[in-house]
Amino acid sequence: MSTQSNSSANIKRITTHQLSAMKNRGEKIAMLTAYDYSMATLIDGAGIDIILVGDSASNVMAGHETTLPITLDQMIYHASSVVRAVKRAFVLVDIPFGYYQGNSSEALRSAIRIMKESGAHGVKVEGGEEIQESVKRIISAGVPVMGHLGLTPQSIYKFGTYSVRAKEQEEADKLTQDALLLQECGCFGVLFEKIPADLAAKITKQLSVPTIGIGAGAGTDGQVLVMHDMLGVTKDFNPRFLRRYADLESVVDQAVKNYIADVKATDFPNQAESY
């Protein structure tokens, strides 16, 4: 993708070319999830490089235990809300479970629906060798694809746990091969979730496309966190890799308690707040 200008404010949009250039000059890529217009407006305004409309929406927006239940229609709804907000960031959307694993035609149809109906800039899929036909087919239609390896939450029932992946040599070798294959298929980037830092750093050096990590150490080309986790909304989720940048749970709790108290005391609204 070449550099595009956003007409409303002359802000340069982040493109796959710019992400690649960031890797080449050693500038780290900052990525966060968002699922709605208001939060996407805030994080885009703050300068985030990539907004991931993750299927973690299934957890943090809908309250499901896993990412498996979310539908393609629901992902498109979240993605289009984000796209309407964003002036600069690259908007990447997860193709949810069950909409690309079947065959490459289905994968292409799903990717095209996301691009056409939400206006997003690319899609993310979980897996390596086993989904290579789908990846190639989507890319051949002109849709940028990011691969996702390591802990792939759509396969949670195969793994059985959310623990660190690829600690054994055999799995580390397979993951390395998958990352190289995804690059060969034309992926513009590869995301590593919960793998040893040394392994992520080693593969990052081998790849010419940018890598993004979550729980994969400091050696990847960029980092991603789920926004609700880093803002301290999801207080019960405390993996080692998570750094909290705010305590929104306490902020919201206190604000709502103050509001309730004011309403009960007939202190709100006051005269200045009335017509």
**Known catalytic residues?**
193
Nearer to ligand KIV, 55 or 221 (CB): 55
CA-to-CA separations, 93 to 3, 51, 57, 231, 235, in angstroms, rounded: 20, 8, 11, 21, 25
- Least Å distance, CB 41 to ligand KIV, is 19
Looking at the Cβ atoms of 11 and 64, the one nearer to ligand KIV is 64
Determine the distance from the C-alpha atom of residue 265 to the mean position of all C-alpha atoms in its chain, rounded to a whole number: 44
Tell me, what amino acid is at 106? E
| Residue of closest CB approach to ligand KIV | 54
Binding site for ligand KIV (CB under 6 A): 33, 52, 54-56, 94, 191, 193, 214, 224, 226
Q: Which is nearer to ligand KIV, 23 or 194 (CB)?
A: 194
d(CA 27, CA 95): 28
- Minimum distance between the CB of residue 111 and ligand KIV, rounded to whole angstroms? 16
The least distance separating ligand KIV from the CB of residue 54, rounded to whole angstroms, comes to 2
Q: How far is the CB of 254 from ligand KIV (least distance, A)?
A: 28
Question: Which residues are registered as beta bridge partners of 94?
Answer: 124
Bond into 210 cis (ω within 30): no
Q: How far is 207 from 61, CA to CA, in rounded Å?
A: 34
Q: C-beta of 58: minimal distance to ligand KIV in Å?
A: 8
By DSSP bridging, strand 29-33 and strand 145-150 are unpaired
User: Which CB sits closer to ligand KIV, 11 or 61?
Assistant: 61
Select 115 or 125, whichever has its Cβ closest to ligand KIV: 125
Rounded distance between C-alpha atoms, residue 95 and residue 101, angstroms: 10
Q: Are 151 and 164 in contact (CB under 8 A)?
A: yes
Going by C-alpha positions, the residue among 74, 5, 87, 90 that lies closest to residue 35 is 74
What residue has token string 């593969």? Answer: 203
CA distances from 41 to 45, 53, 204, 272 (A): 6, 13, 31, 30
